[in-house]
Structure 1
Amino acid sequence: MNIKTALVFPLLVIGLLAGAAAHAEGYLDKIKARDKLIVGVFSDKPPFGFVNEKGDYVGFDTDLGRRFAKDLLGDEKKVEFVVVEPASRIPFLQSDKVDLILANMTVTPERAQVVDFTNPNLRVAVQALVPEKSEVKGLDDLARKTTIVTTGTTADIWLTKNHPDWKLLKFEKNSESLQALANGRGDAYAQDNLVLFSWAKQNPGYRVLAQKLGDEAPIAPAVKKGNVELRDWVNTELANLGKDKYLLKLYDQYVRSQLADGTDPAAVIVEGGAWKP
Protein backbone atom coordinates (compact mmCIF):
# COMPACT_ATOMS: atom_id res chain seq x y z
CA MET A 1 0.00 0.00 0.00
CA ASN A 2 1.52 3.34 -1.04
CA ILE A 3 1.27 6.58 0.93
CA LYS A 4 -1.61 7.93 -1.19
CA THR A 5 -3.64 4.77 -0.75
CA ALA A 6 -2.86 4.69 2.95
CA LEU A 7 -4.30 8.18 3.30
CA VAL A 8 -7.38 7.58 1.13
CA PHE A 9 -8.41 4.20 2.55
CA PRO A 10 -9.24 5.41 6.09
CA LEU A 11 -11.24 8.28 4.63
CA LEU A 12 -13.19 5.81 2.49
CA VAL A 13 -13.97 3.63 5.48
CA ILE A 14 -15.08 6.64 7.50
CA GLY A 15 -17.28 7.74 4.62
CA LEU A 16 -18.94 4.33 4.33
CA LEU A 17 -19.57 4.15 8.07
CA ALA A 18 -21.00 7.66 8.07
CA GLY A 19 -23.26 6.74 5.17
CA ALA A 20 -24.49 3.62 6.97
CA ALA A 21 -25.15 5.64 10.12
CA ALA A 22 -27.03 8.25 8.16
CA HIS A 23 -29.15 5.53 6.54
CA ALA A 24 -29.95 3.97 9.92
CA GLU A 25 -30.77 7.32 11.48
CA GLY A 26 -33.05 8.22 8.58
CA TYR A 27 -35.14 5.05 8.62
CA LEU A 28 -38.31 6.75 9.85
CA ASP A 29 -37.89 9.31 7.06
CA LYS A 30 -37.61 6.41 4.62
CA ILE A 31 -40.93 4.99 5.83
CA LYS A 32 -42.56 8.41 5.69
CA ALA A 33 -41.27 9.04 2.16
CA ARG A 34 -42.68 5.67 1.11
CA ASP A 35 -45.88 6.57 2.99
CA LYS A 36 -46.31 2.98 4.06
CA LEU A 37 -45.21 0.76 6.95
CA ILE A 38 -44.39 -2.81 5.89
CA VAL A 39 -45.10 -5.37 8.59
CA GLY A 40 -44.53 -9.12 8.64
CA VAL A 41 -47.48 -11.00 10.18
CA PHE A 42 -48.93 -14.49 10.44
CA SER A 43 -52.03 -15.41 8.47
CA ASP A 44 -52.81 -18.66 10.28
CA LYS A 45 -52.25 -18.04 13.98
CA PRO A 46 -55.47 -16.83 15.61
CA PRO A 47 -56.07 -14.84 17.70
CA PHE A 48 -52.81 -13.00 16.89
CA GLY A 49 -52.60 -12.95 13.12
CA PHE A 50 -55.12 -14.53 10.74
CA VAL A 51 -57.37 -13.90 7.75
CA ASN A 52 -61.09 -13.55 8.46
CA GLU A 53 -64.02 -14.68 6.32
CA LYS A 54 -63.84 -11.40 4.36
CA GLY A 55 -60.22 -11.98 3.46
CA ASP A 56 -58.95 -9.22 5.77
CA TYR A 57 -55.85 -9.50 7.94
CA VAL A 58 -56.98 -9.29 11.56
CA GLY A 59 -55.79 -10.20 15.05
CA PHE A 60 -53.92 -8.86 18.06
CA ASP A 61 -50.60 -8.38 16.22
CA THR A 62 -52.19 -7.18 13.00
CA ASP A 63 -54.26 -4.49 14.68
CA LEU A 64 -51.19 -3.35 16.58
CA GLY A 65 -49.48 -2.89 13.22
CA ARG A 66 -52.37 -0.74 12.04
CA ARG A 67 -52.07 1.41 15.15
CA PHE A 68 -48.33 1.84 14.53
CA ALA A 69 -49.13 3.04 10.98
CA LYS A 70 -51.74 5.47 12.27
CA ASP A 71 -49.40 7.03 14.82
CA LEU A 72 -46.40 7.14 12.47
CA LEU A 73 -48.11 8.05 9.19
CA GLY A 74 -51.48 9.45 10.28
CA ASP A 75 -53.60 6.66 8.76
CA GLU A 76 -54.01 3.07 9.90
CA LYS A 77 -54.55 2.03 6.27
CA LYS A 78 -50.98 3.03 5.40
CA VAL A 79 -49.67 -0.41 6.29
CA GLU A 80 -48.76 -3.33 4.06
CA PHE A 81 -48.96 -6.77 5.61
CA VAL A 82 -46.53 -9.41 4.38
CA VAL A 83 -47.30 -12.99 5.36
CA VAL A 84 -44.41 -14.74 7.10
CA GLU A 85 -43.89 -18.24 8.45
CA PRO A 86 -41.96 -18.86 11.68
CA ALA A 87 -38.75 -19.75 9.83
CA SER A 88 -38.95 -16.78 7.43
CA ARG A 89 -39.38 -13.99 9.99
CA ILE A 90 -35.68 -13.26 10.47
CA PRO A 91 -34.70 -13.66 6.77
CA PHE A 92 -37.46 -11.22 5.78
CA LEU A 93 -36.02 -8.62 8.15
CA GLN A 94 -32.47 -9.22 7.01
CA SER A 95 -33.40 -8.90 3.33
CA ASP A 96 -35.44 -5.70 3.91
CA LYS A 97 -38.70 -7.28 2.77
CA VAL A 98 -40.36 -5.86 5.88
CA ASP A 99 -39.67 -2.98 8.27
CA LEU A 100 -40.98 -4.76 11.31
CA ILE A 101 -42.04 -8.22 12.46
CA LEU A 102 -45.26 -8.50 14.45
CA ALA A 103 -45.62 -12.26 14.32
CA ASN A 104 -45.54 -13.63 17.83
CA MET A 105 -41.74 -13.96 17.97
CA THR A 106 -40.40 -15.06 21.34
CA VAL A 107 -37.25 -13.26 22.50
CA THR A 108 -34.31 -15.66 22.76
CA PRO A 109 -30.56 -14.99 23.11
CA GLU A 110 -29.93 -16.65 19.74
CA ARG A 111 -32.45 -14.50 17.90
CA ALA A 112 -31.25 -11.35 19.68
CA GLN A 113 -27.85 -11.86 18.03
CA VAL A 114 -29.31 -11.43 14.54
CA VAL A 115 -32.28 -9.05 15.05
CA ASP A 116 -33.08 -6.21 17.42
CA PHE A 117 -36.10 -6.75 19.64
CA THR A 118 -38.16 -3.91 21.01
CA ASN A 119 -39.65 -4.02 24.49
CA PRO A 120 -42.13 -6.90 24.89
CA ASN A 121 -45.87 -6.79 24.27
CA LEU A 122 -46.75 -10.38 25.28
CA ARG A 123 -45.52 -13.18 27.53
CA VAL A 124 -45.62 -16.86 26.67
CA ALA A 125 -44.49 -20.34 27.58
CA VAL A 126 -44.20 -23.42 25.37
CA GLN A 127 -46.45 -26.36 26.17
CA ALA A 128 -47.77 -29.40 24.33
CA LEU A 129 -51.21 -30.27 23.02
CA VAL A 130 -52.45 -33.86 22.86
CA PRO A 131 -55.76 -35.56 22.04
CA GLU A 132 -58.02 -35.87 25.07
CA LYS A 133 -57.86 -39.68 24.99
CA SER A 134 -54.08 -39.80 24.59
CA GLU A 135 -52.11 -41.97 27.00
CA VAL A 136 -49.59 -39.12 27.30
CA LYS A 137 -49.73 -37.67 30.81
CA GLY A 138 -46.56 -35.55 30.93
CA LEU A 139 -43.55 -34.41 28.96
CA ASP A 140 -41.52 -37.50 29.85
CA ASP A 141 -44.02 -39.61 27.92
CA LEU A 142 -43.19 -37.69 24.73
CA ALA A 143 -39.68 -39.16 24.70
CA ARG A 144 -41.20 -42.29 23.14
CA LYS A 145 -43.67 -40.47 20.90
CA THR A 146 -43.69 -38.25 17.81
CA THR A 147 -43.97 -34.55 18.61
CA ILE A 148 -45.12 -32.14 15.90
CA VAL A 149 -43.49 -28.69 15.73
CA THR A 150 -43.54 -25.78 13.32
CA THR A 151 -40.12 -25.08 11.85
CA GLY A 152 -38.36 -22.09 13.38
CA THR A 153 -40.62 -21.76 16.43
CA THR A 154 -39.35 -21.60 19.99
CA ALA A 155 -40.68 -25.13 20.51
CA ASP A 156 -38.66 -26.43 17.55
CA ILE A 157 -35.49 -24.70 18.74
CA TRP A 158 -35.91 -25.73 22.40
CA LEU A 159 -36.68 -29.38 21.70
CA THR A 160 -33.89 -29.69 19.13
CA LYS A 161 -31.42 -28.32 21.67
CA ASN A 162 -32.64 -30.01 24.85
CA HIS A 163 -34.08 -33.29 23.53
CA PRO A 164 -32.16 -34.15 20.35
CA ASP A 165 -33.17 -37.79 20.78
CA TRP A 166 -36.91 -37.05 20.55
CA LYS A 167 -38.66 -37.72 17.26
CA LEU A 168 -39.88 -34.43 15.79
CA LEU A 169 -42.21 -34.06 12.80
CA LYS A 170 -41.80 -30.57 11.32
CA PHE A 171 -44.08 -28.44 9.16
CA GLU A 172 -43.62 -24.93 7.79
CA LYS A 173 -47.04 -23.55 8.77
CA ASN A 174 -48.89 -23.52 12.09
CA SER A 175 -52.06 -24.61 10.30
CA GLU A 176 -50.24 -27.59 8.76
CA SER A 177 -48.93 -28.67 12.16
CA LEU A 178 -52.36 -28.53 13.79
CA GLN A 179 -53.91 -30.40 10.87
CA ALA A 180 -51.22 -33.07 11.19
CA LEU A 181 -52.15 -33.54 14.86
CA ALA A 182 -55.84 -33.73 13.96
CA ASN A 183 -55.00 -36.37 11.33
CA GLY A 184 -53.07 -38.46 13.85
CA ARG A 185 -49.68 -38.01 12.19
CA GLY A 186 -48.10 -37.23 15.56
CA ASP A 187 -48.85 -37.74 19.23
CA ALA A 188 -48.49 -34.13 20.39
CA TYR A 189 -48.00 -30.60 19.09
CA ALA A 190 -45.54 -28.32 20.93
CA GLN A 191 -46.15 -24.59 20.46
CA ASP A 192 -46.75 -21.32 22.31
CA ASN A 193 -49.36 -22.07 24.95
CA LEU A 194 -51.64 -19.18 23.91
CA VAL A 195 -52.09 -20.82 20.51
CA LEU A 196 -52.73 -24.20 22.10
CA PHE A 197 -55.29 -22.83 24.58
CA SER A 198 -57.16 -21.24 21.69
CA TRP A 199 -57.08 -24.42 19.59
CA ALA A 200 -58.23 -26.61 22.49
CA LYS A 201 -61.15 -24.29 23.21
CA GLN A 202 -62.24 -24.16 19.57
CA ASN A 203 -61.68 -27.87 18.94
CA PRO A 204 -63.09 -30.09 21.70
CA GLY A 205 -61.24 -33.32 22.25
CA TYR A 206 -57.79 -31.92 23.02
CA ARG A 207 -55.96 -30.97 26.21
CA VAL A 208 -52.81 -28.99 27.01
CA LEU A 209 -50.19 -30.70 29.16
CA ALA A 210 -49.58 -28.74 32.36
CA GLN A 211 -45.76 -28.92 32.22
CA LYS A 212 -43.89 -26.20 30.35
CA LEU A 213 -40.97 -26.63 27.97
CA GLY A 214 -38.51 -24.12 29.39
CA ASP A 215 -39.27 -20.88 31.19
CA GLU A 216 -41.85 -18.23 30.48
CA ALA A 217 -40.44 -15.71 28.01
CA PRO A 218 -41.30 -12.32 26.47
CA ILE A 219 -42.66 -11.88 22.95
CA ALA A 220 -41.69 -8.65 21.19
CA PRO A 221 -41.75 -6.89 17.84
CA ALA A 222 -38.45 -7.17 15.95
CA VAL A 223 -36.53 -4.94 13.54
CA LYS A 224 -33.42 -5.46 11.45
CA LYS A 225 -30.20 -5.62 13.45
CA GLY A 226 -28.85 -2.10 13.93
CA ASN A 227 -32.13 -0.31 13.17
CA VAL A 228 -32.00 1.60 16.44
CA GLU A 229 -34.22 4.42 15.24
CA LEU A 230 -37.22 2.22 14.46
CA ARG A 231 -36.62 0.10 17.56
CA ASP A 232 -36.64 3.17 19.80
CA TRP A 233 -39.74 4.56 18.07
CA VAL A 234 -41.62 1.30 18.75
CA ASN A 235 -40.49 1.34 22.39
CA THR A 236 -41.81 4.88 22.81
CA GLU A 237 -45.01 3.94 21.02
CA LEU A 238 -45.59 0.91 23.28
CA ALA A 239 -45.00 3.08 26.36
CA ASN A 240 -47.52 5.67 25.13
CA LEU A 241 -50.09 3.02 24.21
CA GLY A 242 -49.65 1.54 27.67
CA LYS A 243 -50.99 4.74 29.23
CA ASP A 244 -54.32 4.07 27.47
CA LYS A 245 -54.23 0.31 28.16
CA TYR A 246 -54.34 -0.25 24.40
CA LEU A 247 -53.06 -3.83 24.55
CA LEU A 248 -55.82 -4.64 27.04
CA LYS A 249 -58.33 -3.45 24.43
CA LEU A 250 -56.80 -5.78 21.86
CA TYR A 251 -56.79 -8.57 24.45
CA ASP A 252 -60.50 -8.02 25.10
CA GLN A 253 -61.25 -7.99 21.38
CA TYR A 254 -59.24 -11.01 20.28
CA VAL A 255 -57.76 -13.04 23.12
CA ARG A 256 -60.02 -13.07 26.18
CA SER A 257 -62.69 -15.29 24.61
CA GLN A 258 -60.02 -17.79 23.54
CA LEU A 259 -58.79 -18.47 27.08
CA ALA A 260 -60.30 -19.96 30.18
CA ASP A 261 -62.68 -17.78 32.17
CA GLY A 262 -60.86 -15.86 34.88
CA THR A 263 -57.51 -15.71 33.06
CA ASP A 264 -55.57 -12.67 34.27
CA PRO A 265 -54.73 -10.44 31.27
CA ALA A 266 -51.43 -9.54 32.99
CA ALA A 267 -50.42 -13.18 32.52
CA VAL A 268 -50.65 -12.67 28.75
CA ILE A 269 -50.00 -9.05 27.79
CA VAL A 270 -47.14 -6.72 28.72
CA GLU A 271 -48.70 -3.28 28.81
CA GLY A 272 -46.36 -0.38 28.07
CA GLY A 273 -43.47 -2.73 27.29
CA ALA A 274 -42.69 -3.10 31.02
CA TRP A 275 -41.54 -6.71 31.36
CA LYS A 276 -41.70 -8.20 34.85
CA PRO A 277 -40.64 -11.88 35.06
Structure 2
Amino acid sequence: MKKLNFKKLIALGLTAAAAVASFTACGTNATSGGSDGNTGSKVYRTLDEIKASGKINIGVFSDKNPFGYVDENGEYQGYDIYFANRLGKDLGVEINYVSTEAANRVEYLETGKVDIILANFTVTEERAEKVDFALPYMNVALGVVSPDSNVITSLDNWKAEDRMIVISGTTAELYLTKNYPDIKLQKYDSYATAKSAIENGNGVAWANDNTEVIAFAKQNKGYTVGIDSLGSQDTIAPAVSKGNETLLNWINDEIKTLGKENFFHADYDATLTDTYGADYKETLVVEGGEVKKS
Protein backbone atom coordinates (compact mmCIF):
# COMPACT_ATOMS: atom_id res chain seq x y z
CA MET A 1 0.00 0.00 0.00
CA LYS A 2 1.33 3.40 -0.96
CA LYS A 3 1.88 5.87 1.83
CA LEU A 4 -0.45 8.88 1.87
CA ASN A 5 1.18 12.22 1.16
CA PHE A 6 -0.40 14.25 3.96
CA LYS A 7 1.21 17.50 2.87
CA LYS A 8 -0.32 17.15 -0.58
CA LEU A 9 -3.75 16.31 0.89
CA ILE A 10 -3.64 19.35 3.14
CA ALA A 11 -2.67 21.57 0.22
CA LEU A 12 -5.50 20.19 -1.91
CA GLY A 13 -7.96 20.72 0.94
CA LEU A 14 -6.93 24.36 1.40
CA THR A 15 -7.23 25.01 -2.33
CA ALA A 16 -10.73 23.55 -2.42
CA ALA A 17 -11.79 25.58 0.61
CA ALA A 18 -10.45 28.77 -0.95
CA ALA A 19 -12.34 28.06 -4.17
CA VAL A 20 -15.60 27.59 -2.27
CA ALA A 21 -15.03 30.78 -0.31
CA SER A 22 -14.26 32.71 -3.48
CA PHE A 23 -17.42 31.42 -5.18
CA THR A 24 -19.55 32.33 -2.18
CA ALA A 25 -18.07 35.82 -1.93
CA CYS A 26 -18.59 36.48 -5.61
CA GLY A 27 -22.21 35.50 -5.30
CA THR A 28 -23.14 37.73 -2.39
CA ASN A 29 -23.50 40.91 -4.46
CA ALA A 30 -25.07 39.40 -7.54
CA THR A 31 -28.79 39.98 -7.46
CA SER A 32 -31.19 38.86 -10.12
CA GLY A 33 -32.66 41.90 -11.80
CA GLY A 34 -32.68 41.27 -15.52
CA SER A 35 -30.18 40.27 -18.14
CA ASP A 36 -27.04 42.31 -18.79
CA GLY A 37 -26.27 40.34 -21.93
CA ASN A 38 -23.64 38.18 -20.24
CA THR A 39 -24.43 36.80 -16.79
CA GLY A 40 -28.18 37.30 -16.60
CA SER A 41 -27.89 39.39 -13.43
CA LYS A 42 -26.98 42.88 -12.33
CA VAL A 43 -24.84 43.84 -9.38
CA TYR A 44 -26.26 46.43 -6.99
CA ARG A 45 -26.54 47.27 -3.31
CA THR A 46 -29.88 47.36 -1.56
CA LEU A 47 -30.98 50.25 0.64
CA ASP A 48 -30.03 48.36 3.81
CA GLU A 49 -26.60 47.49 2.41
CA ILE A 50 -25.94 51.12 1.56
CA LYS A 51 -26.96 52.24 5.04
CA ALA A 52 -24.81 49.55 6.64
CA SER A 53 -21.77 50.65 4.62
CA GLY A 54 -22.20 54.28 5.63
CA LYS A 55 -21.56 55.49 2.09
CA ILE A 56 -23.49 55.88 -1.14
CA ASN A 57 -21.96 56.15 -4.62
CA ILE A 58 -23.69 58.72 -6.82
CA GLY A 59 -22.79 59.25 -10.48
CA VAL A 60 -22.84 62.91 -11.51
CA PHE A 61 -21.39 65.15 -14.19
CA SER A 62 -18.24 67.06 -13.30
CA ASP A 63 -18.16 69.46 -16.26
CA LYS A 64 -21.77 70.51 -16.83
CA ASN A 65 -22.37 73.83 -15.09
CA PRO A 66 -24.92 74.60 -13.64
CA PHE A 67 -26.18 71.02 -13.17
CA GLY A 68 -23.11 69.11 -12.11
CA TYR A 69 -19.57 70.51 -12.05
CA VAL A 70 -16.44 70.83 -9.94
CA ASP A 71 -15.72 74.37 -8.72
CA GLU A 72 -12.39 76.12 -8.22
CA ASN A 73 -12.09 74.54 -4.77
CA GLY A 74 -12.51 71.02 -6.10
CA GLU A 75 -16.05 70.71 -4.72
CA TYR A 76 -19.02 69.33 -6.65
CA GLN A 77 -21.74 71.91 -7.24
CA GLY A 78 -24.97 72.32 -9.22
CA TYR A 79 -28.66 71.46 -9.37
CA ASP A 80 -28.09 67.69 -9.31
CA ILE A 81 -25.51 68.00 -6.52
CA TYR A 82 -27.86 70.05 -4.33
CA PHE A 83 -30.38 67.21 -4.62
CA ALA A 84 -27.76 64.51 -4.08
CA ASN A 85 -26.49 66.19 -0.91
CA ARG A 86 -30.00 66.07 0.53
CA LEU A 87 -30.35 62.39 -0.34
CA GLY A 88 -27.13 61.62 1.49
CA LYS A 89 -28.18 63.67 4.50
CA ASP A 90 -31.60 62.02 4.80
CA LEU A 91 -30.07 58.56 4.32
CA GLY A 92 -27.51 59.35 6.99
CA VAL A 93 -24.56 58.31 4.85
CA GLU A 94 -21.48 59.87 3.30
CA ILE A 95 -21.58 60.58 -0.44
CA ASN A 96 -18.90 59.36 -2.81
CA TYR A 97 -19.34 61.34 -6.01
CA VAL A 98 -18.34 59.43 -9.13
CA SER A 99 -17.71 61.55 -12.22
CA THR A 100 -19.61 60.15 -15.18
CA GLU A 101 -20.09 60.96 -18.83
CA ALA A 102 -23.33 60.68 -20.77
CA ALA A 103 -22.33 57.52 -22.60
CA ASN A 104 -21.50 55.47 -19.50
CA ARG A 105 -24.42 56.30 -17.21
CA VAL A 106 -26.21 53.01 -17.92
CA GLU A 107 -22.96 51.03 -17.73
CA TYR A 108 -22.10 52.45 -14.30
CA LEU A 109 -25.45 51.22 -12.96
CA GLU A 110 -25.26 47.83 -14.67
CA THR A 111 -21.81 47.15 -13.24
CA GLY A 112 -22.58 48.45 -9.74
CA LYS A 113 -20.01 51.23 -9.96
CA VAL A 114 -22.65 53.64 -8.66
CA ASP A 115 -25.85 53.23 -6.66
CA ILE A 116 -27.66 56.20 -8.22
CA ILE A 117 -27.21 58.25 -11.37
CA LEU A 118 -28.02 61.95 -10.97
CA ALA A 119 -26.59 63.33 -14.19
CA ASN A 120 -29.32 65.05 -16.20
CA PHE A 121 -30.65 61.63 -17.13
CA THR A 122 -33.62 62.02 -19.48
CA VAL A 123 -36.24 59.29 -19.15
CA THR A 124 -36.71 57.26 -22.34
CA GLU A 125 -38.34 53.91 -23.07
CA GLU A 126 -35.06 52.50 -24.34
CA ARG A 127 -33.19 53.42 -21.17
CA ALA A 128 -36.03 52.19 -18.98
CA GLU A 129 -35.39 48.70 -20.34
CA LYS A 130 -31.91 48.77 -18.78
CA VAL A 131 -32.32 50.87 -15.62
CA ASP A 132 -35.12 51.82 -13.24
CA PHE A 133 -36.10 55.50 -13.17
CA ALA A 134 -37.49 57.15 -10.06
CA LEU A 135 -40.00 60.01 -10.12
CA PRO A 136 -38.91 63.04 -12.18
CA TYR A 137 -37.54 66.27 -10.74
CA MET A 138 -37.12 68.33 -13.90
CA ASN A 139 -38.65 68.95 -17.34
CA VAL A 140 -36.53 69.04 -20.46
CA ALA A 141 -36.71 69.17 -24.24
CA LEU A 142 -33.98 69.31 -26.85
CA GLY A 143 -32.45 72.53 -28.13
CA VAL A 144 -29.94 73.65 -30.75
CA VAL A 145 -27.34 76.38 -30.23
CA SER A 146 -25.24 77.92 -33.00
CA PRO A 147 -22.92 80.89 -33.59
CA ASP A 148 -24.55 84.29 -34.12
CA SER A 149 -22.96 84.37 -37.58
CA ASN A 150 -25.14 81.45 -38.68
CA VAL A 151 -28.09 80.91 -36.35
CA ILE A 152 -29.87 77.61 -36.99
CA THR A 153 -33.62 78.02 -36.54
CA SER A 154 -34.78 74.88 -38.38
CA LEU A 155 -33.38 71.48 -39.31
CA ASP A 156 -35.54 71.13 -42.41
CA ASN A 157 -33.04 72.80 -44.74
CA TRP A 158 -29.88 71.27 -43.31
CA LYS A 159 -26.94 71.23 -45.74
CA ALA A 160 -25.59 67.79 -46.55
CA GLU A 161 -21.97 68.76 -45.84
CA ASP A 162 -22.68 70.32 -42.42
CA ARG A 163 -22.24 68.47 -39.15
CA MET A 164 -24.23 68.64 -35.94
CA ILE A 165 -22.32 68.34 -32.67
CA VAL A 166 -23.79 65.87 -30.15
CA ILE A 167 -22.60 64.06 -27.05
CA SER A 168 -22.58 60.26 -27.37
CA GLY A 169 -25.30 58.52 -25.41
CA THR A 170 -27.54 61.57 -25.06
CA THR A 171 -31.17 61.99 -26.02
CA ALA A 172 -30.06 64.40 -28.76
CA GLU A 173 -28.01 61.70 -30.48
CA LEU A 174 -30.89 59.21 -30.28
CA TYR A 175 -33.47 61.72 -31.52
CA LEU A 176 -31.44 62.98 -34.48
CA THR A 177 -30.40 59.48 -35.54
CA LYS A 178 -34.04 58.42 -35.62
CA ASN A 179 -35.72 61.55 -36.98
CA TYR A 180 -32.99 63.20 -39.07
CA PRO A 181 -30.83 60.32 -40.33
CA ASP A 182 -29.37 62.46 -43.13
CA ILE A 183 -27.78 64.93 -40.71
CA LYS A 184 -24.14 64.03 -40.14
CA LEU A 185 -23.30 63.89 -36.44
CA GLN A 186 -19.99 64.96 -34.93
CA LYS A 187 -19.92 62.93 -31.70
CA TYR A 188 -18.02 63.71 -28.49
CA ASP A 189 -17.80 61.92 -25.16
CA SER A 190 -18.27 64.82 -22.76
CA TYR A 191 -19.83 68.23 -22.33
CA ALA A 192 -16.38 69.83 -22.22
CA THR A 193 -15.25 68.38 -25.55
CA ALA A 194 -18.56 69.27 -27.23
CA LYS A 195 -18.24 72.82 -25.89
CA SER A 196 -14.70 73.08 -27.30
CA ALA A 197 -15.92 71.74 -30.64
CA ILE A 198 -18.59 74.42 -31.12
CA GLU A 199 -16.16 77.11 -30.00
CA ASN A 200 -13.55 75.88 -32.48
CA GLY A 201 -16.02 75.66 -35.36
CA ASN A 202 -15.91 71.86 -35.63
CA GLY A 203 -19.63 71.80 -36.27
CA VAL A 204 -22.35 74.13 -37.53
CA ALA A 205 -24.48 73.74 -34.40
CA TRP A 206 -24.75 71.79 -31.15
CA ALA A 207 -27.85 69.79 -30.15
CA ASN A 208 -28.37 68.87 -26.51
CA ASP A 209 -30.92 69.26 -23.72
CA ASN A 210 -32.39 72.75 -24.05
CA THR A 211 -31.43 73.53 -20.46
CA GLU A 212 -27.80 72.94 -21.35
CA VAL A 213 -27.66 74.84 -24.64
CA ILE A 214 -29.56 77.78 -23.14
CA ALA A 215 -27.05 77.85 -20.28
CA PHE A 216 -24.17 77.69 -22.76
CA ALA A 217 -25.52 80.61 -24.81
CA LYS A 218 -26.07 82.73 -21.69
CA GLN A 219 -22.56 82.03 -20.43
CA ASN A 220 -20.79 82.46 -23.78
CA LYS A 221 -21.22 85.54 -25.95
CA GLY A 222 -21.65 85.07 -29.67
CA TYR A 223 -24.09 82.14 -29.56
CA THR A 224 -27.86 81.90 -29.93
CA VAL A 225 -30.33 79.11 -29.20
CA GLY A 226 -32.24 79.21 -32.47
CA ILE A 227 -34.30 76.12 -31.57
CA ASP A 228 -35.30 75.97 -27.90
CA SER A 229 -37.72 73.06 -28.11
CA LEU A 230 -37.05 70.16 -30.45
CA GLY A 231 -39.05 66.96 -30.24
CA SER A 232 -41.26 66.06 -27.30
CA GLN A 233 -41.22 67.36 -23.75
CA ASP A 234 -39.42 64.87 -21.53
CA THR A 235 -38.41 64.57 -17.90
CA ILE A 236 -35.19 64.08 -15.96
CA ALA A 237 -35.12 61.60 -13.09
CA PRO A 238 -32.75 59.69 -10.82
CA ALA A 239 -31.94 56.16 -11.99
CA VAL A 240 -30.91 52.99 -10.15
CA SER A 241 -29.88 49.53 -11.30
CA LYS A 242 -32.67 47.42 -12.77
CA GLY A 243 -34.47 45.57 -10.01
CA ASN A 244 -33.14 47.60 -7.07
CA GLU A 245 -36.61 48.11 -5.64
CA THR A 246 -35.67 49.04 -2.07
CA LEU A 247 -33.52 51.97 -3.17
CA LEU A 248 -35.98 53.00 -5.90
CA ASN A 249 -38.92 53.05 -3.47
CA TRP A 250 -36.96 55.09 -0.93
CA ILE A 251 -36.01 57.69 -3.56
CA ASN A 252 -39.63 57.96 -4.73
CA ASP A 253 -40.85 58.49 -1.17
CA GLU A 254 -38.09 61.04 -0.62
CA ILE A 255 -39.04 63.01 -3.74
CA LYS A 256 -42.68 63.12 -2.61
CA THR A 257 -41.64 64.29 0.85
CA LEU A 258 -39.32 66.95 -0.54
CA GLY A 259 -42.16 68.22 -2.71
CA LYS A 260 -44.11 69.21 0.40
CA GLU A 261 -41.37 71.71 1.27
CA ASN A 262 -40.91 72.95 -2.33
CA PHE A 263 -37.37 71.60 -2.21
CA PHE A 264 -36.73 71.67 -5.96
CA HIS A 265 -37.86 75.29 -6.22
CA ALA A 266 -35.27 76.08 -3.54
CA ASP A 267 -32.73 74.02 -5.48
CA TYR A 268 -33.48 76.12 -8.59
CA ASP A 269 -33.12 79.36 -6.63
CA ALA A 270 -29.76 78.26 -5.25
CA THR A 271 -28.20 76.81 -8.40
CA LEU A 272 -30.02 77.85 -11.59
CA THR A 273 -31.33 81.39 -11.09
CA ASP A 274 -28.03 83.00 -12.04
CA THR A 275 -28.14 81.14 -15.35
CA TYR A 276 -31.82 81.18 -16.29
CA GLY A 277 -33.36 83.86 -14.14
CA ALA A 278 -36.82 83.42 -12.63
CA ASP A 279 -38.63 83.05 -15.95
CA TYR A 280 -37.78 79.37 -16.47
CA LYS A 281 -38.44 78.16 -12.93
CA GLU A 282 -42.01 76.92 -13.34
CA THR A 283 -41.20 75.51 -16.78
CA LEU A 284 -38.22 73.46 -15.66
CA VAL A 285 -38.96 72.41 -12.07
CA VAL A 286 -40.94 69.28 -11.29
CA GLU A 287 -41.97 69.30 -7.64
CA GLY A 288 -42.83 66.15 -5.72
CA GLY A 289 -42.58 64.00 -8.86
CA GLU A 290 -45.78 65.47 -10.31
CA VAL A 291 -45.50 66.69 -13.91
CA LYS A 292 -48.02 69.44 -14.61
CA LYS A 293 -50.25 68.97 -17.64
CA SER A 294 -49.79 71.73 -20.20
Query: Tell me, which stretches of 5 or more residues in structure 1 are unaligned?
Result: 1-15
| Aligned pairs (5 A) from 1:76-95 | 78-95=94-111
1:138/1:211 contact within 8 Å kept: no
* 2:171 pairs with 1:148: no
Q: Deviations over 1:28-69 (max 9, x none)?
A: 110011100110000011111000010111111012111101
2:44/2:112 contact within 8 Å kept: no
2:142/2:231 contact within 8 Å kept: yes
Query: Tell me, which stretches of 5 or more residues in structure 2 are unaligned?
Result: 1-26, 33-41
| Aligned pairs (5 A) from 1:150-229 | 150-210=167-227, 212-229=229-246
Pair 1:26–1:187, CA change in 2 (3 A): closer
Provide the rounded CA distance (Å) in 1 between the counterparts of 2:44 and 2:106: 21
* 2:62 pairs with 1:46: no
2:145/2:227 contact within 8 Å kept: no
TM-score by length of structure 2 reads 0.82
* 2:128 pairs with 1:112: yes
Pair 1:208–1:26, CA change in 2 (3 A): closer
Pair 1:169–1:243, CA change in 2 (3 A): same
Provide the rounded CA distance (Å) in 2 between the counterparts of 1:167 and 1:25: 38
TM-score by length of structure 1 reads 0.87
> Offset of 1:250 from its aligned partner?
1.1
Provide the rounded CA distance (Å) in 1 between the counterparts of 2:104 and 2:56: 19
Q: Deviations over 1:167-225 (max 9, x none)?
A: 10000001100110000010000000111111111111100023532101010000001
Amino acid at match of 2:48: D
Pair 1:210–1:109, CA change in 2 (3 A): same
Amino acid at match of 1:105: F
Provide the rounded CA distance (Å) in 1 between the counterparts of 2:248 and 2:220: 38
Q: Would you say how many aligned residue pairs link Structure 1 and Structure 2?
A: 256
Task: State the Cα RMSD in Å.
Answer: 2.1
Secondary structure at 1:120's aligned position in 2? coil
Aligned twin of 2:20: none
1:27 aligned residue (46, 50, 56): 46
Aligned twin of 2:145: 129
Secondary structure at 2:288's aligned position in 1? helix
Provide the rounded CA distance (Å) in 2 between the counterparts of 1:137 and 1:27: 47
Provide the rounded CA distance (Å) in 1 between the counterparts of 2:166 and 2:195: 9
Amino acid at match of 2:96: E
Provide the rounded CA distance (Å) in 2 between the counterparts of 1:24 and 1:160: 31
Provide the rounded CA distance (Å) in 2 between the counterparts of 1:253 and 1:262: 11
